[in-house]
Structure 1
């Protein structure tokens, strides 16, 4: 098998002068130059003591510099650990401390706060400082300066095994501390090969990179275009949240394959003025990370009817594990989100009950996934890793997603997403999935965003609170109107007890609704 860092060198040999990466503000780099820059990173990191099996932290904004660093780290045989530049320094320091990074590559503007948080005595990691991030120049300048002071010899790319770690992505943990999902070259390559099989990319494609590099959507963004000699178009954090500028950029950059969370696509459909631009190049729209409200998906498809649309489902622990192609036409009467589809060809799936026994098609249960794409475990959390897996009588491990699904017995055996096990509550004797209440609220013509949380209540056991943002703040519905609407569209036991309006709902760094923040507000 080809390892993920070898994808770059292969494309550098076959299409050396083709543009590998473009930034939204104009910086570009060819495959030849990106491979050469990553080799310089490899040599410098080796000089700093990085060896096969080590971890290297990345604390800088998305840029050509970051992409070169990722491949340079992989070429040493180490795993990269990206952190969110917009997150509190204390959280990032925890992550870098937790997995004992050997070196952390940091933008100068983040250095002071990180140093004050990361102290580990004798185990303090080496800092590799860049003056900024963009176009690859800050990285080149840092390498030039270090080479002039302390020359690093040219080395060979490390020979690794398929089960060596390639990257560790940290996700929120139930304890309040993030947990590191360990993913190997085998995990990554099996997923990249599946993407190649289904989406059939070529060297003329131009892939968006909207997701931050600490989010699992970035794995498709980075490695699929690099494998095929295509162009990766990086979209910065500020541009990525401005629907008007983003809509223009997708057209101007002639993006052929778009991938993001549904939240971003919903904003584009509502506020991007898509009808003003030419999207004739766009052939694939992929979305993942959360449920796509059907009314926003219908609007988007009416504005952009040409591309193929795919609903990709999967947690960080498996990356995408099921997929579903959205039909060309969405009936007006449809209100339910589309299925999450069938299991990907490099994985296997079963649905089990609370005792871990497989259930027949048509019966609800927890989706469990096995195969080459499944994580090795959580960094330094063996007990948590053990709890995350179901081991069947043959000894085969199955990752428990925590998501409740049902396999449709009538329509091609697609999995239908019911909801998170941890977002299900019991109310008035009924089992209630909070996402179902959200889907009902999205049917209101004035609702732009809806998020529902459960609050413990001594008298009633649980109260349900709905947070809403509206398309037009001055025309938001009254409480009486909302109660009447909910009574008409939801079972009585699902009608929220409380409503709160906000101009926008809080988001995580990966553009999902921040339920933890809403609980703090409530």
Structure 2
């Protein structure tokens, strides 16, 4: 039984030592090189920090960043990617939470790192990769490995916190192994695949890219962030590097279709498109499916707190423009269920009854690092089970079953509003606007101060046309009182629509 993700790397290196494991715009490592580099980094780290402590990695995503991750795992530690483009104050809050004694940087991020005021030891990845481990260091790495448990932490990813302080989700080896084994089997990811990494390394979509690659002996091509603003070089990159598998945020797929990337080129090898993060607009999905009629398209759902994803739906039919894709079914060894406001179970024979999506299983993570209060609020005893300990994660997302018994995402609890005496899911209005001819993408926000719904949209129709179309589908109380046309939807670094930026833009217009 595998109990450490390093076994993925070691097995792939033994089988295909000279095969490219990972490549970025400027660099590449074979499997043997990645394994050797992990040992070099780990040999130094084990002398600098105790096991099961944080190793912040302050650099942009790259081959070297992945070597740092694997080196942290070699030293029995857990890694945390810190994006140098993030505000200094946010990085400082994360470092304070981690309490790290060391930090790995690269030459490119060195000047920015100086502004952080980090009091621990700073190690440069370029120097670490030149280190030659001695016999004593290698022996210590062996001892660390022998004493490792599969519940030891592997990585931390920081999500936004409602109080303004980021929360560090902490994930162990067992959760990743349990999920990735199912993920690669379910979607037939093999050594013949080339995975095109879109997600930042501090976003959990990248976990699927990294560990699907290492487990199967595939190749991961790291796509430069800048290409997602320029569809022609992006299409060239995917085609030149023979990418077969896209595990992308919905917004990234929508960028391709919005900027008409396929009018320039159809990358020839793509056969799997797996998307998450937000509800996929059907008109964008249809363009992708028309372009790749033989490819597998999969809608996956799940927050960082349950190790990437807990449900999947392999698209197997056509959908109308105002329809929503189902969430599908739970991945093996995960239980996904709905609870109402009184913690009663909502079952498939109770269609259209909305409840909070909850998850149980090995994929449920260790909680929030150094934050017992927030952990205890979200990672709780299953209220349906009073016989033994069963920690579940309450996602804060709402879902419901259709009359056909399929599970659907509704919205965030935060996006369910009370307006004019009615409970309204803003996601339902988004879908209705998305279906209007000429609308590219929509996002509705509730302005609590002025008690009105604001509909932001990207596309060509005028506000009168949109209102007219919505009146055919929605009750009057659900039609936005204000519409704001935007040139393009601002997105967060994780690829989700940036609602704060939309409201700021409206204020400054």
Q: Report the TM-score when normalising by structure 2.
A: 0.92
Q: Which runs of 5+ in 2 are unaligned?
A: none
* Counterpart in the other structure of 2:241: 253
The alignment status of 1:339 with 2:326, answered yes or no, reads: yes
Q: Identify if the C-alpha distance between structure 1 residues 407 and 359 changes in structure 2 by more than 3 Å, giving closer, same or farther.
A: same
Q: Indicate the larger mover: 307-316 or 93-102.
A: 93-102
Offset of residue 326 of structure 1: 0.5
1:466 aligns with 2:458: no
Structure 2 CA distance, aligned partners of 1:156 and 1:43? 7
Q: Secondary structure at the match of 2:432?
A: helix
- In the TM superposition, what whole-angstrom CA distance separates every residue of 1:101-153 from its partner, at most 9, and x where no partner exists? 2211123443344333344xxxx2211135xxxxxxxx2x5543x779x9994
Q: Are 1:86 and 2:76 an aligned pair?
A: no
SS in 1 for 2:115: helix
Q: Is the 8 A contact 1:86 1:509 kept in 2?
A: no
User: What is the deviation of 1:240?
Assistant: 3.3
Alignment CA distance shift 1:519-1:167 (3 Å) = same
| Within-5 A mapping of 1:40-439 | 40-47=40-47, 49-119=48-118, 124-130=119-125, 139=126, 141=127, 143-144=129-130, 153-154=137-138, 155-157=140-142, 158-159=144-145, 160-274=148-262, 276-318=264-306, 319-327=308-316, 329-331=317-319, 333-361=320-348, 362=351, 363-391=353-381, 392=383, 393-394=386-387, 395-410=389-404, 413-439=405-431
Matched residue SS, 1:488: coil
Secondary structure of 1:58 counterpart: strand
Which position in structure 2 is the counterpart of 1:441?
433
Report the alpha carbon displacement of residue 238 of structure 1 after superposing the two structures with TM: 0.8
Shift of residue 6, structure 1, vs aligned partner: 2.0
Q: Distance in 2 between matches of 1:88 and 1:108?
A: 19
Query: Matched residues in 2 for 1:71 and 1:272: separation?
Result: 38
Residue of structure 2 in register with 1:136 after alignment = none
Which region of structure 1 is more displaced relative to structure 2, 359-368 or 67-76?
359-368
When structure 1 is superposed on structure 2, of 103-112 and 251-260 the one drifting more is 103-112
Q: Distance in 2 between matches of 1:103 and 1:152?
A: 21
Give the C-alpha shift of residue 272 in structure 1.
Answer: 4.2
- The answer to which of 85-94 and 175-184 deviates more is 85-94
Could you give the per-residue CA deviations for residues 298-331 of structure 1, whole angstroms, max 9, x where no partner exists?
Answer: 121112212100000000101200000002x425
Q: Secondary structure at the match of 2:494?
A: coil
SS at 2:116's partner residue? helix
Aligned-partner SS, 2:345: coil
Unmatched segments (≥5 aa) in structure 1: 131-138, 471-475
Aligned residues: 493
Match of 1:513 among 497, 501, 505: 497
List, as ranges, runs of 4+ consecutive aligned residues in structure 1 with deviation greater than 6 Å. Answer: none
Cα separation, 2, equivalents of 1:279 and 1:305: 13
- The CA distance in 2 between the partners of 1:171 and 1:296, in whole Å, is 27
Partner of 1:134: none
In structure 2, C-alpha distance between the alignment counterparts of 1:188 and 1:98, rounded to whole Å: 23
Q: Distance in 2 between matches of 1:281 and 1:477?
A: 36
Q: Check 1:29–1:147 CA distance in 2 against 1; reply closer, same or farther (3 A cut).
A: closer
CA contact (8 A) 1:94 1:118 kept: no
Report if aligned partners of 1:8, 1:226 keep a CA contact under 8 Å in 2: yes
Cα distance in 2 for residues equivalent to 1:452 and 1:291 = 13
482, 486, 490: which one aligns with 1:502 = 486
Which string of whole-angstrom CA distances, capped at 9 and with x for unpartnered residues, describes residues 139-185 of structure 1? 2x5543x779x999444242211111111100011111110101111
Instruction: State the distance in 2 between where 1:512 and 1:108 align.
Output: 30
TM-score (norm 1): 0.90
**d(CA) in 1 for partners of 2:108, 2:238:** 30
Q: 8 Å contact 2:235–2:266 — kept in the other structure?
A: no
Aligned to 1:378, the other structure's residue is in SS state coil
CA distance in 2 between partners of 1:19 and 1:198 (Å)? 24
